[in-house]
Structures are given as C-alpha cells and as structure tokens.
Chain A
Amino acid sequence: MAELDHWHPVLFADELGRKPAHVRVCDRELVLFRASDGTATLGALADVCPHRGMRLSEGRVEGGRLVCPYHGWSFAPDGEGKSPATPAARPCADAFDVVERYGLVWIKRRGAEAAFPALDVSGYHLIGKTRQRAEAPLEVTLDNFIEVEHTPEVHALLGYPRERMAEVTCEVTSTETSVRVYNEGPQRALPRPLYTLLQIEPGDAFVDDWTTWFSPVYTVYDQYWLDPATGQRRPNALRIAIFFVPVTTGQTDIFALSYALAAPWDRYGLNAFAYLLTRAFVVMELRRDVALLGKLADKSPELRGRSLSRFDKPLGLARKRIETIYRGG
C-alpha cells in the first residue's frame, strides 16, 4: 500500500462548512466539500478541474455537487462530472474516500481497503482537539513523539525530572504492526495546585505507555500516575491519540485528540475545569515540540551514523514499519 491508501485526518469537521476547503496531504492537493442537499454526504476530489485545471476549492457547492468557478462544470462526491455546455461529455474528477469521525474529516484513496485506525475511547471523555504543523519530515517528527528523553529539556510539565532521568524505565515491545513503549519514573515537580487538580501526590510515579501503529502512522498514549506506596493507579488518566500526517516531504501535520478517564461531572464539576487546563497544556507542549523540530540542523530521516541512546530503540523499529506498512515497501 502507498501512503494515501491509509485513512488520514486532514481537517477538523467544524472547519468544513458550506464552502469547499483546500487541503494538502502527502504532496497531493485536495478539495473537500459538504453536500448542501440535506444529507450528511462529504466529497473529496483532486483540487484541479479536469477541464482546464482550475482549483475546484475556489468553486461553490450546489446541492450535492461541487461547481467549478471557471466554466460551471460540476462534480458529484464520486467524481462524476457534468458540463452544462456539452451535456454529452462525461468528465470525471479524481475522487477520494472521505468520512467524518471523531470530529475530524478523513480521506483515503478511493476503494483502498485499509482498516480505520483503531482508537478505543469508549468511556473516555474528550477534552480537546488540536493540530500543529511541524517543519520536518514524517519520520523525524514521529521520532520526537516516541521517546521521553527530550521531555525534561523541551517540556514544561510533561515527563520526568532531568536529574532523575537515569531512573526512568523504558520497555520496548513490538509486533509486526506496532511498537509499544512503557516508561515509568518519578513525576517531575509541578505547581502545587496541579496536584489537586490532577488528583495526584508529590512523589507519584508517572507512567507514559504508548503504542504506535502504521496504518496510518499514529500513536495512542496512556498517561497515568501510580501511588508509590501501593502501586495502585490514581483515579484519573489521559488517553491521547496523535496522528502524523505528511503534508509535503518536509512538513508534517500533527492531529491530537485528548481524552480523560475521569468524567467531567465528577468532583462537582472540578474536572470540567481540569479539562480546560489540560487542553491548554497539551497545546502548549505540542507547540514546544514543533518549535524544536523546526530548528533541527539535520532533518534527514537517516539514522545510520547517529549516536543513539537507550531511549532511541523505537526509532529504528518505527522506520522499518513505516517502510513496510505505511509506504508499502
């Protein structure tokens, strides 16, 4: 399979209104549109009219069809075209499969038989969605998200204290289709009110347990805290799904969906407040990641010749699976 054979999130659902929207994914330019015929149908076409090359995203939606602003040719979501001036013509636009799920719009090559990315958030509560763009290739962007060694340097709250990084465990397991990393170590010091809000105590162990999948490339993080005395889990936990979407060879979009285990109505609504802060923290930490990625001197995905640490084992495992699964070898 090639990249676009996998489902990719390309837009937030609420960004797609009555007007068609232009997106770029895997170096392809697409136009997305929402039918205005009362159904929930979405369309995704190559953003170029097969007639004279106009950008269809400059056009408008009429009923269930997208109309080109140049000569008024119109296209159905499956690409079937009509030319008002030449009724016998049967133009055809390049169509993609498109679906709206989890508040995102997803596309893949028409007819590709990829499974939809597995994301079990049943019983979790959405706290926020965000998109950040990294000026780095897919592999190099992913690298940042599958090791915790950078957290004391790059992040403000996430991860482990610099002086105790040596205590952090890093267990890597892999299957043909996934790479899983389990990190456990002391939670870095946080501002006092955050302990109350997150329902944790100073001295708790922080677990960051994630699995990366490759159809498409995405990582689901389970983050929770353990009472060091009993080893029992604290009541709350986060589950964050991050999708890595190549825009061009040198740019990667990061779509993050953050969920909390604790219900917003728990603790008399205090959790709802905790959600607001957590959502802001996730955005802040992701911005730190992409800012850093933009400053890399060498953005080559090549790992050979680099000095790697004990936390970098997942990088090579991910490279191999990106080649065999995501890019299809």
Chain B
Amino acid sequence: MREETEVIVVGAGPSGLSVGACLRSRGISFEILERSGEVGSSWRNHYERLHLHTVQRFSALPGMPWPAGTPTYPSRAQMVSYLDAYAGAFDLNPRFGEDVRSARRVDGGFVLRTEANEYHTRGLVVATGYNRVPNVPTWPGEASFGGPILHSSRYKNGDPWRGKRVLVVGAGNSGAEIALDLWEHGAKPALSVRGPVHVVPRDLTGVPSQISSLFLFSRLPPKVADAISLFALDRMLGDLTPYGFTRPKLGPISQVIVEKRIPLIDVGTLELVKQGQIDVVKDVRSFDPGEVHFVDGTTRPFDAVVLATGYRTGISEYFEDAEGWLDERGYPRYFGEPVPGAPGLFFIGFRNPLTGALHDIAIEAQRVADHLAGEKR
C-alpha cells in the first residue's frame, strides 16, 4: 500500500516518542513506524538489573516529568512504564511491526519501504537509536568452544549461570554491570577489558556524575574539566592499573567530546574487582574447547561467554547513500539540526553527551519539531 504523509518518524523509543509528542503539540501530522510490537523495545529487552545512569529529574522527555515515587536512578522496568505512559499521554499510536527495509531520498522528500507498505513523506526523522544492531565480533576456534556465546542483548539475568565460569567481553557499562550481575547470582565472572578505559563512579562524593557534568564539567574548557575530574578520580578510586584498567591518554571529558566515548560508569563492579571477586583479563585471542586464550598468552577455562561488545546504528544498512551524513563509526554527524543537502531529514538520539542521552533527546526533539514546523509554513 502506498501512503503519503507529512512526517515519518522511524522508531518508537524515547527519541521517536519525544519527537511525536513535540509534533503533536505543534499540530503537525505524522506517523511513527516501529519494527517491534511495542514502544521502547530496546529498553524492554535490556538486562534486568539496568538502571538509568542519569538522574530522573534531568532525564524526562518533553512535557512529562517522572511520576512521584520514582527513585533518582529509575530502573529499566520503570523506564518501560514511563515510555508506555508517555505514548498514552500524547496519544502516540505507532504503527507496529513496520520494519523499514529501505529508505531513500527523492525530489522533495523521502520514500520508505516496509514489507507491506511504501511511505512517501516530506519530513523524515530517524530515531532508530544506537542499539539497533548488536556488534558480534568473532574469534578463531569459536565454534569449538562448546559453551554458549551470547551477545549482551540476549542476557537477562545471571540466574542460569549460578556456579558457572562466565567470561564477559567488553568493559563498557553493560559488560561491567553484567559481570556484577553474574557475581550476584553466584557465578564466577571474569571481565575482558579490551583497551584503555576511564572508570567513573556513578556518584562522585555523593553527587551524581551527571549533575557534576551538567553544572560544572560541560561549562569548563575540556582540558580544565579533565584535570579536575582526574584529580577527583585519583583520590576516590586510586590507581586502577594493578587491577587491569589502564587509563586512556585523552582525559575523560575530552574523550566524550572528541571521541564520543563515554567512560565506564561504575555501579559496584570496581569494589568487587578490587577485592578479587571479579577477575579482569585481557582481550580475547582465540577459543578452544572449554577454554579461552588471551592476547597476553594466558589461557583460562570458561563455561560460557557474554559479548558486551555494544551495538551499531545500522543506518547505512537501510538508508541509501547515507554515508555522507555518517561518521566512520556509523553515527550521524548532525543532531537535531537540518542535514545539509537533505531538507526535511533529521537524526535524533544518536549522541551520548556528558549531560545524559535522555536530557539531550528532550532538547533535540523540540528543535526537530521546531524545524519541521518552520518548514511547514
């Protein structure tokens, strides 16, 4: 079926829903296309222990604060309820099961194809998020390992792994928290740290790191902010090199700005690493039956492996000729602003700035809606 619409929003996560709410309040007609059957599908599928790393008061979507009784860091389940309530409050009714297989630019707009339908639209908002496609690296000998090797997107909790030796690959936020979750469920986890990484406690001397970032670090020159934060981290955490965490050359604040990499936000893993409860190991080199070889020449036996190796946006996999708008890692170069040479196109929710992704989405969504409203006139 062929449809003509004013604006298409792809994705019904926090970004897509925010844009929908902002367009609704500006009286612009739109459709939200969602490949799954529910809003916030990434949030529904994340591991159970997950909480926001940012403070709820600075993580609300446009027009709806978090309900009374929400803790400072809402849980994954609370986030899902919030998104459900948000969609209800703004009467956003995404078309579910509409997986955009291809998108391309045509004169005066865009053409999107799902399995059943073809959409012609003047405005297109890409809100498919940075969790669209799991990154699944492979290693020699993997097939012979014998135990399960699963991506973190399929990890729910540590219950099935009690008493098991589990290798978690990747020391990002997911990897570190999954290692902690495994330990709490009575498994014996090891964390494979692949490169240098900054470790930042979620709360710096009792103050959420997001608040320090919002009101201090994001307002200082990056070099000064780096120096202050490294001074504080040294005193709070000490030298982490003996535990297997090496520090990147670039400071933690600069790294967010220059490399768009956020530090590892620690929610308790480090305390267990320091006590020798969770081992930190090097990057994986290869697999053999029941064991894993590491790049430093060591070998250890494991029963299972969890790949906390992140995701990619996968935009170029469905959007024709999108490369020019994307950086080398596949993230859009433009946020909440018109894309040069492609009027009507907007990207939202592909950033993870110091001040928090949801905080940023709320600001971007308003801007995107303003631009689309302006173009309408």
Contacts and interface: CB of A to CB of B under 8 A. Distances in A.
Interface of A: 39-42, 99-101, 113-116, 118, 120, 122-125, 224, 232-235, 237, 261, 263-265
Contacts of A42: 275
Nearest 3 pairs of A and B residues by beta carbon: A123-B71, A123-B73, A123-B72
B332 to A, nearest CB: 31
B274 interface: yes
Contacts of B70: 123
A41 B72 contact: no
Contacts of B74: 123
A120 B75 contact: yes
Contact of B274 (A40, A120, A124): A40
B333 interface: no
Nearest to A117: B184
A122 B77 CA distance: 13
A190 B213 CA distance: 40
Contacts of B185: 115-116
Given A100-B275, A233-B68, 17 more contacts: A41-B275, A41-B276, A99-B272, A99-B275, A101-B271, A113-B162, A113-B163, A114-B186, A115-B158, A115-B162, A123-B73, A123-B74, A232-B68, A233-B69, A237-B69, A263-B72, A264-B206
Given A42-B275, A124-B71, A261-B69, A116 B206 contact: no
11 contacts: A40-B271, A42-B275, A99-B277, A101-B272, A115-B162, A116-B186, A123-B70, A123-B73, A125-B72, A232-B68, A264-B206
B272 A123 contact: no
Given A39-B274, A41-B276, A101-B271, A116 B184 contact: yes
A116 B183 contact: yes
Given A118-B184, A265-B207, A235 B68 contact: yes
A325 to B, nearest CB: 14
From A116, A224, A264, name the one whose CB has the most chain B CB atoms within 10 angstroms.
A116
A268 to B, nearest CB: 15
Interface residues of B, number: 31
Interface of B: 51-52, 56, 67-75, 158-159, 162-163, 183-186, 206-207, 242, 267-268, 271-272, 274-277
A100 B271 contact: yes
A255 to B, nearest CB: 18
A128 to B, nearest CB: 14
B69 A224 contact: yes
Contacts of B186: 113-116
B261 to A, nearest CB: 23
Nearest to A233: B69
A261 B275 contact: no
Contacts of B75: 120, 122-123
Contacts of B277: 99
A59 B213 CA distance: 47
B275 A123 contact: no
B73 to A, nearest CB: 3
Contacts of B207: 265
A101 B268 contact: yes
Contacts of A124: 71-72
